[in-house]
């Protein structure tokens, strides 16, 4: 959530930057400033009324003490009117503050200045590419056919048990899945991230804290009786560890990692681009999160990008990095880099990671602050990234490492799987 003083002091910049999202925020920005002016005016009026009421109460008390009961009783009527006025002002102030907060919840984060303008993923900027695309044997198969051939992922069984988008991994497929999770966590903890095991359901306050609510409630599975939500990513419970927390500056930076299943209702469309593991309602992901000093968060973002690079280099998968344009940028993000792995059998790029800096947007919602060197509370910056999302990484491995004799396991994973080929 944007801070009101920031909007007030940078009105033109906010409107200009939000235009990169193809959003004309002029009216919303003007409304925020107007609501804030009303709120501050009402607050001043309330403060003055309360001060007058307190002063009058003291005066009434002194009059009674001095035996001037008649004068005191005359003033009591005025005191009653002031109390009624203050009650009405307090109610008006609460309504105005709630309206302002609801409006702020609807305004997305301001994109960083280097975010390119654009309408969709077609306007994203490729900033890096690495790895050789393998030449596969004639008759190479997409991963959903490989999964059936080697009996390692059963999409039909998942559909029987639950529905489309809930595959069943079995045998060497399940072991490869477990190997990837362990490998990702080991890489992250070796890089200094502290591992957490996190809840898979969160309350409404957690959803609002990281920006999934009210923006993405339609994409989240909602346990209505308990008003809990299945997590769409470990970012939600992980970042909410720090909700309503005031850190000491010396505690920064903080880095955590965690594995969770993730749940997303988003329906998606039909066709080969969403077949198999390309888009699921339940999938596994290992996440990295950081809480940073504002002056160091973009340096940290670069470090997170480089960290994900090393994982893909060790897996020896061809990949590229995209800087997302304004039209493809997530609601809470100021700057996002997407990683995509090339699926040779599908002849297309598959997104496998997003690494983002949210600056103070989430911290303002979370009330996540740190005490700076001047002893004042200051909003921290939050960042997160997939390290990595498993379905499309697994799809990339199955397709790019397939041979006529079977699917070779990347060398770095063989110590985790206990086997070197799926045949």
Q: Which long-range contacts (CB under 8 A, 24 or more apart) does 79-84 make?
A: 79/53, 82/49, 82/52, 82/53, 82/56, 83/53
According to the annotation, is 373 in a ligand binding site?
no
pLDDT of residue 74: 77
Q: How far is CA 384 from the centre of its chain?
A: 7
Residue with tokens 């702020």: 104
- 279 labeled part of a ligand binding site: no
Q: Which residues contact 406 (CB under 8 A, 6 or more apart)?
A: 150, 421, 422, 423
Query: Which H or E run contains 99?
Result: helix 69-105
**Number of neighbouring beta carbons within 10 Å of residue 2:** 20
Q: If you average pLDDT over residues 25-30, what whole number do you get?
A: 97
Kindly list the structural domains of the chain, giving each domain's residue range(s) and its CATH number in brackets, ordered by start: 4-105 (1.10.287.40), 121-422 (3.30.930.10)
Contact indicator for 399, 388 with CB cutoff of 8 Å:
no
What are φ and ψ of residue 117, in 5° steps?
A: -70, 155
Q: What's residue 273's pLDDT?
A: 62
Are 129 and 349 a contacting pair, CB within 8 Å?
no
As a whole number, mean pLDDT of residues 116-127 equals 95
Mean pLDDT of 218-231: 94
Give the pLDDT confidence score for residue 160 in this predicted structure.
Answer: 97
pLDDT band for position 66 (cuts 50, 70, 90) = confident
- Long-range CB contact pairs, 33-38, < 8 A, 24+: 33/7, 33/8, 35/96, 35/99, 35/100, 35/103, 36/4, 36/8, 36/100, 38/96
Q: What is the mean pLDDT of residues 212-230?
A: 89
Q: Which of 74-78, 234-238, 335-339, 361-365 is the least confident region?
A: 74-78
The CA-based dihedral angle spanning residues 377, 383, 384, 385, taken in that order and rounded to the nearest 10 degrees: -160
How many other CB atoms sit within 10 Å of the CB of residue 297? Answer: 23
The verdict on whether residue 387 carries a ligand-binding annotation is no
Instruction: Decide: 383 and 304 in contact? Cβ < 8 Å.
Output: yes
Specify the pLDDT at position 307.
98
Q: Are strands 319-323 and 222-223 parallel, antiparallel or unpaired?
A: unpaired
Beta bridge partners of 228: 203, 223
Which range is least confidently modeled, 82-96, 214-228, 276-290, 338-352?
214-228
**Known binder of ligand: residue 41?**
no
Average pLDDT over the chain reads 94
Query: What pLDDT does residue 77 have?
Result: 81
Summarize pLDDT for 67-116 with one digit per residue, the tens.
Answer: 777 777 778 888 888 989 999 999 999 999 999 999 999 999 999 999 99
229-282: pLDDT as tens digits: 999 999 999 999 999 999 999 999 999 999 999 999 875 544 556 789 999 999
The reported pLDDT for the residue numbered 272 is 52
Contact between 354 and 305 under an 8 Å Cβ cutoff? The reply is no
249 has binding-site annotation: no
Is residue 187 packed enough to be buried (19+ CB in 10 Å), middle (13-18) or exposed (0-12)? Answer: buried
Asked which of 13-17, 211-215, 299-303 is least confident by mean pLDDT, the reply is: 211-215
What is the rounded distance in angstroms from the CA atom of residue 242 to the CA atom of residue 22? 32
351 annotated among ligand-binding-site residues: yes
Residue 17 assigned to a binding site? no
Model confidence band, residue 214 (pLDDT cutoffs 50, 70, 90): confident
Q: What is the pLDDT of residues 309-325, one digit of tens each?
A: 999 999 999 999 999 99
266 is in an annotated binding site: yes
Whether pLDDT at 130 is above 90: yes
Residue 60's pLDDT is 83
């Amino acid at each position: 959530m944007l801070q009101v003083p920031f909007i007030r002091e940078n009105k033109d910049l906010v409107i200009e930057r939000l235009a990169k999202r193809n959003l004309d925020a002029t009216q919303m920005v003007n409304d925020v400033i107007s609501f804030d002016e009303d709120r501050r005016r009402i607050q001043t009026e309330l403060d003055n009324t309360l001060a007058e009421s307190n002063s009058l109460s003291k005066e009434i008390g002194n009059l009674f003490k001095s035996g001037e009961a008649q004068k005191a009783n005359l003033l009591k009527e005025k005191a009653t009117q002031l109390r009624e006025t203050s009650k009405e002002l307090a109610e008006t102030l609460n309504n105005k503050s709630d309206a302002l907060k609801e409006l702020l919840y609807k305004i997305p984060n301001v994109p960083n200045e280097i975010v390119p303008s654009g309408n969709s993923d077609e306007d994203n900027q490729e900033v890096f590419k690495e790895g050789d695309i393998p030449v596969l044997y004639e008759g190479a198969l997409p991963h959903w056919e490989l999964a059936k051939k080697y009996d390692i992922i059963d999409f039909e069984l998942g559909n029987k048990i639950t529905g489309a988008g809930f595959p069943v991994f079995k045998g060497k497929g399940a072991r490869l899945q477990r190997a990837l999770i362990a490998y990702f966590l080991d890489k992250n903890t070796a890089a200094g991230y502290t591992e957490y095991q996190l809840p898979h359901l969160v309350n409404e306050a957690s959803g609002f804290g990281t920006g999934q609510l009210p923006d993405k409630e339609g994409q989240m599975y909602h346990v209505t009786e308990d008003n809990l939500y299945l997590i769409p990513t470990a970012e939600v419970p992980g970042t909410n560890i720090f909700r309503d927390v005031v850190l000491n500056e010396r505690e920064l930076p903080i880095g955590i990692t965690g594995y969770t299943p993730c749940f997303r209702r988003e329906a998606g469309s039909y066709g080969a681009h969403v077949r198999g593991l390309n888009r699921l309602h339940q999938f596994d992901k290992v996440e990295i999160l950081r809480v940073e000093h504002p002056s160091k968060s973009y340096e940290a973002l670069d470090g997170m990008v480089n960290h994900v690079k090393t994982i893909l280099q060790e897996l020896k998968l061809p990949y590229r990095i995209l800087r997302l344009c304004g039209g493809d940028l997530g609601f809470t993000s100021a700057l996002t880099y997407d990683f995509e792995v090339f699926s040779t059998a599908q002849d297309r790029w598959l997104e496998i990671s997003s690494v983002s800096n949210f600056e103070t947007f989430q911290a303002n919602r979370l009330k996540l602050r740190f005490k700076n060197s001047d002893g004042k509370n200051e909003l921290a910056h939050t960042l997160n990234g997939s390290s990595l999302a498993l379905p499309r990484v697994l799809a990339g491995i199955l397709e790019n490492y397939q041979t006529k004799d079977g699917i070779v396991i990347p060398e770095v994973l063989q110590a985790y799987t206990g086997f070197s080929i799926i045949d």
